[in-house]
Amino acid sequence: MTILVDKTTKVIVQGITGREGHFHTKAMLDYGTAILAGTTPGKSGQEVEGIPVFDSVVEAKKQFPEINASIIFVPARFAADATYEALDAGLKVVSLITEHIPVHDEMRFVELARRQGSYIVGPNTPGIITPGQCKLGIMPAHVFKPGRVGLISRSGTLTYEVAASLTEAGFGQSTALGIGGDPIVGMSFVDALKLFEADEGTDATVLIGEIGGSAEEAAATFIKKHISKPVIAYIAGRTAPKGKRMGHAGAIVSGQTGTADGKIKALRNAGATVIDRPIDVDEALQKIL
């Protein structure tokens, strides 16, 4: 059991002929992800790594009606349009890798996805991986192993850092996903916690947050009320000053909102184990499981 994606997931790659799209199509195929089609407007009839290219998602779906998930590598200024296209075709999971999408566009497609009950993972995310089954993302696959720990994060490389320590300590992952580093993202910590709580294949969840916004505080409130499985949390950016964006568009402390201390306090109050260093994750899990 897993969340969002598994071996039955049938994937379309939007922006498949671009440099990133092509490179990661190969990597995902090597991992065993079932990619059926790709799109790049104006390039139908071509092939990438043996995968047929279509002009649009709808046309690909005519030939492969079983497609139910998309991964988007389209450049920022065209990414909102690509997302609308995926939602319009009724896809339930959209992994939106692209960084630097204008925030007004993000608010609109996130609202649209909410209305139709689709999940947008991202934007500005490494994607989702269910180890051993499906990789709908750009993460280095070798640091992930199948197992029973759920992993959710706002950061890419920090996810790999924690996944690597988990794997090394013998804790595999049920599913790992990045919710994205932007101020506005589709799927939230709360959405993911809800899915992991319901998933029989997950025993505990590791949550990697960072400064900015109040997604971690919202997660804390939700954990207190609705989550029975253990949650271990790490918050990056304790040393970040106010008012400065730390790389991710969403990582900024504004006024009293978004501080690491506030998030840590909220999560501790909710009963989560908050660790000081990523390396402490193994010990924390060993105590709990």
Cα distances (Å, whole numbers) of residue 99 to 86, 133, 178, 184, 226? 17, 26, 13, 12, 32
- Residue 126 engages other proteins in binding (rule: CB under 8 A): yes
Amino acid sitting at position 104: H
Instruction: Verify whether residue 24 is a known catalytic residue.
Output: no
Binding test (CB under 8 A) with other proteins, winner from 213, 222, 264, 284 = 213
- Residue 22 engages other proteins in binding (rule: CB under 8 A): no
Nearest CA to 229 out of 275, 174, 170 is that of: 174
Binding test (CB under 8 A) with other proteins, winner from 139, 152, 176, 177 = 139
What's the min distance (Å) between Cβ of 9 and other proteins?
A: 22
- Residue 131 engages other proteins in binding (rule: CB under 8 A): no
Binding mask 141-170 for other proteins (x = CB under 8 A): --x---------xxxxxxxxx--x------
Contact 113, 186 (CB under 8 A): yes
Site size toward other proteins, by CB under 8 A: 60
- Residue 71 engages other proteins in binding (rule: CB under 8 A): no
Cα distances (Å, whole numbers) of residue 3 to 75, 128, 135, 187? 27, 9, 12, 13
- Residue 110 engages other proteins in binding (rule: CB under 8 A): yes
- Residue 250 engages other proteins in binding (rule: CB under 8 A): yes
Binding test (CB under 8 A) with other proteins, winner from 12, 184, 223, 266 = 184
Residues 6 or more apart whose CB falls under 8 angstroms from that of 38 comprise 12, 13, 14, 15, 16, 17, 21, 25, 48, 51, 52, 53, 54, 60
Amino acid sitting at position 38: G
- Residue 249 engages other proteins in binding (rule: CB under 8 A): yes
- Residue 69 engages other proteins in binding (rule: CB under 8 A): no
Candidates 34-42, 54-62, 86-94, 236-244; binding stretch for other proteins (CB under 8 A): 236-244
Q: Which is nearer to other proteins, 228 or 239 (CB)?
A: 239
Measured distance CA(18)–CA(5) in Å, rounded: 24
What's the min distance (Å) between Cβ of 68 and other proteins?
A: 24
Measured distance CA(205)–CA(195) in Å, rounded: 11
Measured distance CA(196)–CA(153) in Å, rounded: 14
What's the min distance (Å) between Cβ of 237 and other proteins?
A: 4
Measured distance CA(59)–CA(7) in Å, rounded: 24
- Report which DSSP code applies to 200: T
Binding test (CB under 8 A) with other proteins, winner from 7, 30, 58, 77 = 77
Helix pair angle (215-226, 189-198), 10° resolution? 30
- Residue 88 engages other proteins in binding (rule: CB under 8 A): no
As a dihedral over the C-alpha atoms of residue 270, residue 130, residue 3, residue 251, rounded to 10 degrees, the angle is 50
Amino acid sitting at position 62: K
Residues annotated as catalytic (active site), given as ranges: 248
Provide the binding-site residues for other proteins, judged by CB under 8 A.
76-77, 100-104, 106-108, 110-112, 126, 138-140, 143, 153-161, 164, 181, 183-184, 208, 210-215, 218, 234, 236-241, 244-251, 255-256, 276-279
